[in-house]
């Protein structure tokens, strides 16, 4: 057997050694040099934060802090910086002020709760910001590379294509579909309440997700509820496993850890492939129906409009809205269309159960303005001012997305603050919603009256209230979400009195959207529909 020549072995050894040295240098640059450089730049401007921690940053400290709280938290003060949702806020804002620096793994984050800076960045300089790569990868795994993760002309193209579905004119025709989507679960509640003599305790959280699932299925995807329910289930499992992976030391230390054949990675791959197969099935069924002449068009729902607008092809490198864009945005809206609105409605129910005087005011308004359910119209739904005030105050206290994160794509000189290229900026929406400098001394109280003259007059700075994001990239479905929440709540209030169960454990948490960790048990008392 021939031996490898010495010169070849030496050459191979040099190549291997070079690769190792390069990898080590690259690792140290990302995990040490870059974070310390950014810290030094911000320190010169008086911005400080907790000590730099190698590789994992403040992640372990934040996680332990979150886990230190009991299952049931007090529910009489809403100015606590949501420690079980955004522990960094509760840990570091009291020590370091409205702007501080901390590390999420190796990523240096500048946390901001100053709405003036938020406006400068998200409105005036939005084109200079991009998404964090790790966040984009996380979102892409769960909800695809659709509108939520796109930037530049690709984002603009998708926004133009999807926008008309969410315009007010389109929403006017969705009232009936939204009501039908809610009816199945509400009828189930009515039956259970009747069987128990007029009063029943139910954990309404899973049914709220079913309601939102039926609504998004009816309005956007041709009533494919059962398939949509499966898609949402696998997306939820995938997001839970991804977050568990973040707690692993190996995730932060081993390059390409997500690609290793670990048990968790195999589970995530399985969940992801299940989602992909189900979404492709819905798309292919709609396309085949047109190709075979079963229907003459793709339809006027969201999926139909996307397919009508889409070009052929599955390239991710084109600016066109193609079949891949349809696929990714289906994944996005199946998840976002259920999780965000369902949890917002859930927290709204919680607030009305806690504050029966506001529940009575909302019920009276629904009765006076809407009348009989078969006559409900979008124009009347928009007149539910008290319900809208309650919804806004609920979103202030429990915003679905507690933070937004972007990265400076270039050096930015703001008024009084320099942000270097590569800095991740965390916009602390929940913390701004709980800051008495913008909301007054009663910021910790549930007070929908603050919105009596609209959101713009509720606080001292318009960017201090941003439950749907802000700037050109605010949530495209905000009007849809508001209408859905108003309709579903109105239907509930006509049927039931809502009372908080003594079994409820108040413990807000967040995977991708803020939600009640231990469900939402509510006592439903039957009311006569008038």
- Binding-site entries for heme: 475
Cα–Cα–Cα angle for 450, 453, 456, rounded to 5 degrees:
85
Element (H, E) at 481: helix 478-495
Q: Which of 110, 101, 152, 115 is nearest to 131 (CA)?
A: 152
Q: Which of 326, 366, 342 is nearest to 214 (CA)?
A: 342
Strand runs (DSSP E) across 113-248, as ranges? 129-130, 199-203
Chain centroid offset of residue 359 CA: 27
218 CB-contact burial (10 Å; exposed 0-12 / middle 13-18 / buried 19+): buried
Contact 332, 148 (CB under 8 A): yes
Q: Which of 415, 399, 427 is nearest to 124 (CA)?
A: 415
**DSSP structure class, residue 467:** B
- Rounded Cα distance between 309 and 306, Å, is 5
Binding residues: 475
First to last CA, the chain: 94
Q: Are strands 417-419 and 412-414 parallel, antiparallel or unpaired?
A: antiparallel
- Rounded Cα distance between 335 and 233, Å, is 9
């Amino acid at each position: 057997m021939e031996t490898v020549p010495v010169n070849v072995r030496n050459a191979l050894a040099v190549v291997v050694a070079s690769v190792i040295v390069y990898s080590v240098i690259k690792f140290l640059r990302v995990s040490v040099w870059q974070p310390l450089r950014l810290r030094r730049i911000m320190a010169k401007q008086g911005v400080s934060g907790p000590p730099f921690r190698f590789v994992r940053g403040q992640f372990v400290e934040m996680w332990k802090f979150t886990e230190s709280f009991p299952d049931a938290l007090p529910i009489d003060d809403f100015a606590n910086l949501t420690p079980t949702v955004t522990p960094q806020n509760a840990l570091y804002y009291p020590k370091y002020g409205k702007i501080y620096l901390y590390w999420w793994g190796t990523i240096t984050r500048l946390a901001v709760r100053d709405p003036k800076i938020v406006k400068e960045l998200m409105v005036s300089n939005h084109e200079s910001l991009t998404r964090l790569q790790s966040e984009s990868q996380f979102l892409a795994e769960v909800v695809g590379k659709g509108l939520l993760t796109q930037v530049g002309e690709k984002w603009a193209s998708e926004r133009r294509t999807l926008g008309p579905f969410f315009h007010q004119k389109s929403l006017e025709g969705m009232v009936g579909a939204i009501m039908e989507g809610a009816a199945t679960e509400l009828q189930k509640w009515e039956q259970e309440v009747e069987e128990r003599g007029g009063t029943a305790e139910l954990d309404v959280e899973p049914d709220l997700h079913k309601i939102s699932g039926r609504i998004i299925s009816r309005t956007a995807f041709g009533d494919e509820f059962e398939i949509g329910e499966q898609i949402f289930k696998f997306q939820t499992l995938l997001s839970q496993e991804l977050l568990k992976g973040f707690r692993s030391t190996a995730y932060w230390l081993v390059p390409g850890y997500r690609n290793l054949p670990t048990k968790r990675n195999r589970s995530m791959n399985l969940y992801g492939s299940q989602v992909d197969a189900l979404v492709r099935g819905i798309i292919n069924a709609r396309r085949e129906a047109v190709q075979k002449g079963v229907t003459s068009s793709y339809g006027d729902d969201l999926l139909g409009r996307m397919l009508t607008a889409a070009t052929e092809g599955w390239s991710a490198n084109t600016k066109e809205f193609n079949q891949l864009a349809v696929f990714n945005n289906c994944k996005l809206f199946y998840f976002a269309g259920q999780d965000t609105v369902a949890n917002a409605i859930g927290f709204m129910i919680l607030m009305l159960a806690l504050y029966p005087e506001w529940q009575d005011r909302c019920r009276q308004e629904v009765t006076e303005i809407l009348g009989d359910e078969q006559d409900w119209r979008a124009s009347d739904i928009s007149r539910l001012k008290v319900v809208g005030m309650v919804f806004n105050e609920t979103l202030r206290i429990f915003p679905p997305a507690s933070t937004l994160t972007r990265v400076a794509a270039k050096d930015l000189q703001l008024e009084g603050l320099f942000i270097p290229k590569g800095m991740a900026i965390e916009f602390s929406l929940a913390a701004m919603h709980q800051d008495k400098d913008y909301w007054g001394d009663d910021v910790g109280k549930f007070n929908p009256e603050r919105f009596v003259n609209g959101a713009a007059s509720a606080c001292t700075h318009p960017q201090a209230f941003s439950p749907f994001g802000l700037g050109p990239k605010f949530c495209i479905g905000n009007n849809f979400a508001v209408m859905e929440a108003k309709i579903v709540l109105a239907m509930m209030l006509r049927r039931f009195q809502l009372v908080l169960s003594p079994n409820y454990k108040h413990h807000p948490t967040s995977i991708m959207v803020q939600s009640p960790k231990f469900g939402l048990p509510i006592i439903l008392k039957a009311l006569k529909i008038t």
